[in-house]
Amino acid sequence: MGSLTPISTTLAKCNHCNKTKSYNGGSTGNLLRHMNTIHTAIPLHKSTQVNESNSEIIDDPQPSTSIYLSPTRQQSSSVATSPTRQQSSSVAITYSTIFKPLDKRQSSIENFIQKPIPINKSKMIDQQLLKMIVKEYHPFTVVEDVEFRNLIKMLCPNYLIPSRKTVTQSLMPQLFNITVECVKDTLNNVSAVCLTTDGWTSRNNQSFVSVTAHFIDPKNQTQISSVLLGYNSFDERHTSDNLSRLLRNNRILQ
């Protein structure tokens, strides 16, 4: 005998407590809640689905959450549900005949970890990358090195490393403009500046001269700061007159 006996198309009676429960619309949720809350000691067995067209048995391989309904004597004579292909007095109403199967796939933890990083953090990493290239004299191609990219991926998997073109044509000019404005603001607040020049010749025999400004840091009166103001090609002799004329014409500071 089953756990519940159908009285009509919408009502079923519990065989253990004789209470009447509704399963209107074919829903077995109300019946299942009754069994799980009232009759918790009664196990729910493996369900057997009935194919009424050919009266064959289809075993559900998954653990059953269905409620067995015992049909009336009029119903039991027209349905064959016995595992031995004999007539039985129980019919299984399963969720698979009412509800669509649920998607049991769970989201991987990587979907929660690998989220885009905030724009502010991405810009901070870009700035630090530029400082590394400028201060440590790295080539721009460092952003294309395989091992360097692997290192960044391990440290921050969601950070998108800029290409060499982005570094040279976008990020570096932005950093240069910001640096120029910072130097101007700093020099506007100092009372005196000492200028020094430095000349050198490149490997292809091209001569250059640079100008550096030295001053007392306005934020720390005991510290001397230095900033490179610029450089320019200089093919003349590095005499005091030529260098003085270079500085007075302001060619190197343009």
pLDDT tens digits for range 88-101 = 444 444 444 444 44
For residue 61, what are its two tokens?
């391989």
Q: Which residues have a Cβ under 8 Å from the Cβ of 195 and sit 6 or more positions away? A: 211, 212, 213, 214, 229, 247
Amino acid in position 108? S
Please check the confidence at residue 79 and state whether its pLDDT lies above 80: no
Higher pLDDT, 72 or 106: 106
CA pair distance 21, 23, nearest whole angstrom: 7
**What is the maximum span of the chain, computed from C-alpha positions, in angstroms?**
122
pLDDT tens digits for range 170-201 = 999 999 999 989 988 888 889 899 988 888 88
Closest C-alpha to 150, from 159, 139, 141: 159
Closest C-alpha to 235, from 210, 207, 197: 207
- DSSP class of 95: G
Q: Which of 45-54, 104-113, 203-212 has the lowest mean pLDDT?
A: 45-54
Average pLDDT of 97-109?
51
- The overall average pLDDT reported for the chain is 74
CA pair distance 67, 194, nearest whole angstrom: 94
pLDDT tens digits for range 122-136 = 999 999 999 999 999
Distance, first Cα to last Cα, the chain: 100
Please check the confidence at residue 112 and state whether its pLDDT lies above 50: yes
Residue 70, SS3 per DSSP = coil
Burial 209-237 (b: 16+ CB within 10 A, else e): bbbebebbeeeeeeeeeeeeeebeebeee
Query: For the chain, what percentages of helix, strand and coil (3-state, to nearest 5) are there?
Result: 35, 20, 45
Q: Which residues have a Cβ under 8 Å from the Cβ of 15 and sit 6 or more positions away? A: 1, 2, 3, 4, 5, 70
Higher pLDDT, 34 or 234: 234
Strands (E) in 114-177, as ranges, are none
Average pLDDT of 146-173?
93
